[in-house]
Structure 1
């Protein structure tokens, strides 16, 4: 059993309209797909976690012919959740079918990045992981960011990082800050997040401390 962390590049035509909207709207920071239910009536239901203003998000959902129904939670600390049922596009069906095979399981969340890429983790046999990567529909291409044996221990919950701490860690990974030898710097993280280097360093220290406490407390 293998895991693979994938980054999916989408052409403009293959990108989901809501993802394109999130990229372009300055009042939506990012969205993550946490839960989904594929049903056999040509619709899908999803639960998204979104950081940003729900008003333009709501307006976009209402303007789409594909939206069957939706509901939004109240905003808490800048975050709201959206449960939406929508009609399946042909591109979406090809994307879903690429990962609906054999042993393969998609592990949430799926993250929709501001640059138009999508990050997700899959678990399954090597053959099924490879088949998913090779059978993405036209307009999509997968980059394998990491791969290895799936040996995750059973744990209660996960380390609770703040959004800024998680963003700092994501930026640090992207820049190779945790590589050996180290490729990136705190200054790289600060530039990506448009914050002071001291603030970036503090986010990373607190995130690392939280993760280490979580690991030790569940040994």
Structure 2
């Protein structure tokens, strides 16, 4: 199954008010859509994971007219689930309708980030995926961050490595670079991936940094 890891960039006037909150308030650190039910009706239901000051977040929810109701469940000191129903509007339809088609599945989570960016994963056939990207409104920017064959197990822990960073790590493991005591060298890694030692070392450092950051985030959520 082919997948795309996609980043969308929204101008301020097309951003949902709760997405703008991520930009405008330091009180909300993370806003992630975990699941959603979008039917042929006028309202949609969503489950979000939120990190930050829940009072600021819920005050913002109450100020959005199209949000009909919501329920908050506390997980720990900083993390919450927010279950809400909201009325769909024309902006929602323009942004998400391209993905509501035969041959495509949007795989949660959908990560709402600062500066109007959203990251999500799409699974589907080449034709429908291309059509969906082509039908996005002109004012919404898009970048394909990664493309390949989908494996659900990868999403259990995905630090977002580039192909070269992954190759360098794999070569390091195979050569014994991470054994104790260490039996492999950066030079061996470089030879295995056909790169200069300085380049191999840079790939390893960046990969290690990404993996440790992703691991800490995973532990924080768990």
What's the TM-score once normalised by structure 2's chain length? 0.72
Contact 1:13–1:139 at 8 Å: present in 2 too?
A: no
Contact 1:34–1:110 at 8 Å: present in 2 too?
A: yes
Query: CA 1:149–1:207 in structure 2 vs 1: closer, same or farther (change >3 Å)?
Result: closer
Partner of 1:195: none
1:178 to 159, 165, 169: 165
Structure 2 spans left out of the alignment, 5+ residues: 169-198
2: CA distance between counterparts of 1:141 and 1:128? 19
- Is 2:148 the partner of 1:148? yes
What's the TM-score once normalised by structure 1's chain length? 0.73
SS in 2 for 1:13: helix
For residues 89-141 of structure 1, what are the alpha-carbon distances to aligned partners after superposition, in whole Å with 9 as ceiling and x for unaligned?
21111222110111100011000112220000000001111111111124212
Partner of 1:158: 156
Query: CA 1:129–1:65 in structure 2 vs 1: closer, same or farther (change >3 Å)?
Result: same
Equivalence map 1:119-158=2 (5 Å) = 119-150=119-150, 152=151, 158=156
From the CA coordinates, give the structure whose radius of gyration is larger. Answer: 2
- Is 2:20 the partner of 1:20? yes
Structure 1 spans left out of the alignment, 5+ residues: 160-165, 190-199, 212-219
Contact 2:50–2:81 at 8 Å: present in 1 too?
A: yes
The structure with more helix, counted as a fraction of residues: 2
Flag as ranges the 4+ runs of structure 1 deviating above 2 A. Answer: 176-186, 203-208
